[in-house]
């Protein structure tokens, strides 16, 4: 007498809430990883806020000119050692053909953003099941690049002291570029490593190559990063190793997306049934 006893029924009553909580966690994680149709208003707001935040952080990084120029000298020496130092010859050769360099100037200044946004809209409209995981790759790529800008300021070839590169965007007065005219004061000119111009174009090319249904669409998609790397080198805005850095951050973005979202980054489709299915009720013990 006086001792408290726990009946088997009471022990089972205490275990039920724990199993319910575990089931809820599993269902929430499954919903996070399962393909869902994105909400248009949320995506527009997310992209706008993300791009504003990216621009704010990128331009808030202090323009460490002396360190950026030292890093440029080091990159130039490494590229000579690796046999990759052909930026100078490409820059001067393409600059001698006015129509070609002007076209590359505008390709550099505008299409990296226009094509990236177009691919996002295409994914949203035509492949909504793949959209969230693929968008995460782009956001993760950009976030990793911001870390690189902060810890490794790098002057582009056109700003290198004694490099004798032609600043083609400035010389040919390319409209709309953040690297020339009054707009250059609104953008960090020493955020060259990694090249997000190439990183975003590679993301576009890989997404189109994976998702597009026609071979010629895939081929056009893969041509975009090729044209982009040609433009950033010819205009003197990036080193070859900047493009390698851009490819590295894209791979990091795909890795993070796969870790968080699973294989849906490659093959997810929306389920045919869109109505919510009620969760099975836990059996209630009878007295």
Per residue in 19-49, pLDDT tens?
Answer: 555 555 555 544 444 455 667 777 777 777 7
CA quadruple 181, 107, 230, 265: dihedral sign: positive
- Mean of pLDDT values over 3-12: 49
List the single range of 101-115, 176-190, 244-258 with lowest mean pLDDT.
176-190
- Residue 272: pLDDT above 90? no
Specify the 3-state DSSP secondary structure of 214.
coil
Domain residue limits, the chain: 68-267
Above pLDDT 90, what percent of the chain? 43
d(CA 249, CA 228): 16
Per residue in 111-153, pLDDT tens?
Answer: 988 999 999 999 988 888 888 889 899 989 988 998 888 889 9
CB 229 within 8 Å of CB 198: yes
- Residue 65: pLDDT above 80? yes
Residues 6+ apart with CB under 8 A from 65: 155, 190
Residues 6+ apart with CB under 8 A from 206: 221, 250, 254
* Cα 199 → chain centroid: 7
Closest-CA residue to 47 (of 101, 113, 103, 144): 113
Per-residue model confidence (pLDDT) at position 256: 87
């Amino acid at each position: 007498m006086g001792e408290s006893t726990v009946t088997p029924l009471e022990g089972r009553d205490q275990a039920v809430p724990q199993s319910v909580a575990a089931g809820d966690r599993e269902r929430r994680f499954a919903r996070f990883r399962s393909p869902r149709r994105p909400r248009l208003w949320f995506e527009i707001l997310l992209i706008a806020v993300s791009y504003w935040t990216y621009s704010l952080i990128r331009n808030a990084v202090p323009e460490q000119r002396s360190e950026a120029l030292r890093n440029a000298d080091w990159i130039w020496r490494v590229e000579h050692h690796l046999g990759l130092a052909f930026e100078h010859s490409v820059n001067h050769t393409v600059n001698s053909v006015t129509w070609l360099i002007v076209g590359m100037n505008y390709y550099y200044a505008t299409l990296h953003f226009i094509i990236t946004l177009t691919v996002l809209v295409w994914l949203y409209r035509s492949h909504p099941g793949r959209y969230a995981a693929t968008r995460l790759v782009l956001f993760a790529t950009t976030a990793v690049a911001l870390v690189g800008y902060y810890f490794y300021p790098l002057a582009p070839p056109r700003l290198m002291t004694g490099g004798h590169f032609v600043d083609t965007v400035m010389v040919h007065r390319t409209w709309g570029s953040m690297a020339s005219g009054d707009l250059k004061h609104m953008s960090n000119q020493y955020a060259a490593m990694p090249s997000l111009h190439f990183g975003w174009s590679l993301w576009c090319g890989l997404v189109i190559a994976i998702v597009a249904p026609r071979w010629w669409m895939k081929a056009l998609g893969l041509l975009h990063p090729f044209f982009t790397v040609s433009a950033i080198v010819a205009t003197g805005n990036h080193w070859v190793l900047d493009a390698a850095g851009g490819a590295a951050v894209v791979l990091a973005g795909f890795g993070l997306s796969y870790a968080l979202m699973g294989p849906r980054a490659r093959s997810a489709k929306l389920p045919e049934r869109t109505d919510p299915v009620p969760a099975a009720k836990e059996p209630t013990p009878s007295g």
